[in-house]
Amino acid sequence: MSMRLLMTGYSLALLAVLLGCVIVARSRYAYRGIHWLTASVSAALIGVALVDGRGLIPDFASIVLGNEAILASFVLLHQAILVIVRSRRSYPGFSQGLAALVCAALMYFTYSAPDIASRIVVMSAAVALQCAISAWVLLTTDEPALRSPMRMLAGVLISFQVLEIARIVAAILRPPPPDIMHADDVHSFFMLLQCIMGLANMAAVLWLALCSQRDDLHAMAFTDGLTGLMNRRGFDELLEREIQRSQYGSEPIALLLIDLDHFKAINDQFGHQTGDEVIRCMSKLLHAQTRAADSVARYGGEEFVMLLRGSQTGHAESVAERLRNQIAAIEGLPHGICLTASIGIAVYGPDDTITSLVKRSDDALYRSKRLGRNRVSTATV
């Protein structure tokens, strides 16, 4: 197998990946971590091109700088992973120290005691160690929505680590010829596998970035921008699933529709910024008072909705009264504003649909409004 042809082919593949990364990075919807991935691919391309120039350029550039650039690509890939999975476990001092040790070892085994097998051992050990750190971050980061792509990337990195360890063993047991461009079939095969695994690494990181972007867009579509609570669209989809689950499992669910009294007057008198602050305070209270099994959302304007799982009428009324009293007791609002809320309750019945359940809770809410506000009303089935 022609090593120079293999390296040239790998360089062209990296160039294609780099162009794709640059296009994505310049697009309006750039993926998180894409700039670090672009830097990683660039470093890999530079490193492979320098190694491919062995015999045509000085050994320092081909051996030392080329291998350092390849190692840098793994360090930058690790940084891309950290950004994508939102991990703060960065070890810049370790990576810098590792690069310095590798540089010193490459210089020694190139000029003081020339030995290609030792250079392979040093480089493979450094890459295996960097892959192990990246895989550890992926396997210990809690991102449920990204679990599948994270595990796949961790598997690719661990496979790369195993490959590097196997190459260390091969270099010790069967040292390659001094000119790597004339390597035997064993070491040529290892180089081919490294090229394949290198591209697999980048593809897996791209998939992880794509899944992360999809998760971000999903969160934006179903999250209220002002409060951070679920929005109406998200809640409607959740309610549909819960009604289906209740139909099959016979678990009762209750809906609380909560509306701030005289909120328009607050906006008119004190301005929309004050109104937004009131909405945020209200959302924090509701979020703090929501059980892990329940859900709360901003349904629109000054209206909030709460889904109580496993709740019959008595429990729902108890929760609503507690919330009503806590809302009235909120202190520290701008301009000394005092809040009250009207609440409507509807418990899911066997003939209910999403529309009818929401309408019954809405009717109960407006009954509270008609009766003087700051009270709780329950819809009849």
Cα dist from 317 to 254, 255, 333, 343, 361, whole Å: 10, 10, 27, 10, 12
d(CA 280, CA 100): 51
CA dihedral 129, 134, 140, 145 (to 10 degrees): -160
Selecting among 164, 242, 302, 317, the annotated active-site residue is: 302
Cβ–Cβ < 8 Å for 34, 21: yes
Q: What is the three-class DSSP state of 297?
A: strand
User: Is the Cα torsion angle 239, 242, 244, 247 positive or negative in sign?
Assistant: negative
Structure tokens at 231: 């929005």
Query: How many CA atoms lie less than 13 Å away from 222 in the CB half-sphere?
Result: 12
What phi and psi, each to the nearest 5 degrees, are found at residue 183? -70, 155
Q: Which two tokens stand for residue 355?
A: 């529309």
Is 251 an active-site residue? Answer: no
Question: Which residues are catalytic, by number?
Answer: 302
